[in-house]
Amino acid sequence: MTLLTLFDYCGTAVFAITGCLVAARRGVDIIGFIWLATVTAIGGGTLRDLIIGRDVFWVMQPLYLYLCLAVGVVMFFIAHWIHRHMHLILWFDAVGLALFAVIGTQIALNAGMNIPVCITMGIITATMGGVFRDLLAGEATLIFRREIYVTAAVLSSVTFLGLTLGGLAETACVAIGVTAGFTLRAMALRYRLMLPGYDWVIAVDGNAPPPPQPDRRHQR
């Protein structure tokens, strides 16, 4: 087992845990825990493989399914304790996000995909599991939040791909790509960084009210 494969399994476990924490908030049964753990952990990679016409990774390596099953069962009994350490989970999730973005990009590149597709597959691998989780749980999906999450996956993917095409050794490309995405996500968590939101409010009838004007009462 390579170091990258080991990290992949660790990232799968972390993503599965985040799925279980959502399941705990919803008060679902143990089957719900297992289902959300599995969807969160392998959903993005599954969609990636289906799009590029590759054998779905967990069909070829069922250990991913067993890992999701184990996490779901264990978390059903300890989710209340794990939630107390949610700040740690967020940091591990940041590592998993960056790692999955790099892995997805690498798989697409090895499959002969072009540059835009490789980047898209990296983003899908890293984020779509969380999107599926939120949709199933009835929560606002990642793409509707202003927090820097998907952007970190983009940075990891682009960094890895650029260095790889530049001829740098694969190990260095993976390390730098993961570090770049993790650093951005870590800064967002540490300093509560968010992307700017849309200022206009569109009415139901399609007419947009004028944008808010700055308060000049105290300006001189």
Task: Report the pLDDT value the prediction gives residue 218, as an integer from 0 to 100.
Answer: 43
Least Cα distance to 157 among 119, 189, 198 occurs for 119
Could you read off the pLDDT of 83-92 as tens digits, one per residue?
888 888 889 8
Which of the residue ranges 74-83, 136-145, 150-159 would you say has the lowest mean pLDDT? 136-145
The answer, yes or no, to whether residue 150 has pLDDT greater than 90, is: yes
The answer, yes or no, to whether residue 130 has pLDDT greater than 50, is: yes
pTM of the full structure: 0.88
Could you read off the pLDDT of 84-116 as tens digits, one per residue?
888 888 898 999 999 999 999 999 999 999 999
Cα separation, 184 vs 187, whole angstroms = 5
For 205-215, what is the mean pLDDT?
A: 57
What one-character DSSP code corresponds to residue 194? Answer: B
Task: Report the pLDDT value the prediction gives residue 69, as an integer from 0 to 100.
Answer: 98
Task: Report the pLDDT value the prediction gives residue 210, as an integer from 0 to 100.
Answer: 58
The answer, yes or no, to whether residue 127 has pLDDT greater than 50, is: yes
Task: Report the pLDDT value the prediction gives residue 152, as an integer from 0 to 100.
Answer: 96
The answer, yes or no, to whether residue 176 has pLDDT greater than 60, is: yes
Kindly indicate the confidence band of residue 219, based on its pLDDT and cuts at 50, 70 and 90.
very low
Higher pLDDT: 72 or 212? It is 72
The answer, yes or no, to whether residue 202 has pLDDT greater than 70, is: no
Task: Report the pLDDT value the prediction gives residue 201, as an integer from 0 to 100.
Answer: 66
For 105-132, what is the mean pLDDT?
A: 96
The answer, yes or no, to whether residue 124 has pLDDT greater than 80, is: yes
Which of the residue ranges 54-68, 128-142, 201-215 would you say has the lowest mean pLDDT? 201-215
The answer, yes or no, to whether residue 211 has pLDDT greater than 70, is: no
CB-based contacts of 23-31 (< 8 A; 24+ apart in sequence) = 23/75, 23/79, 23/137, 24/75, 24/79, 24/80, 24/83, 25/137, 26/137, 26/138, 30/72, 30/73, 30/76
For 183-189, what is the mean pLDDT?
A: 95
Cα angle at 152 between 163 and 70, to 5 degrees?
Answer: 105
Mean confidence (pLDDT) of the chain: 90
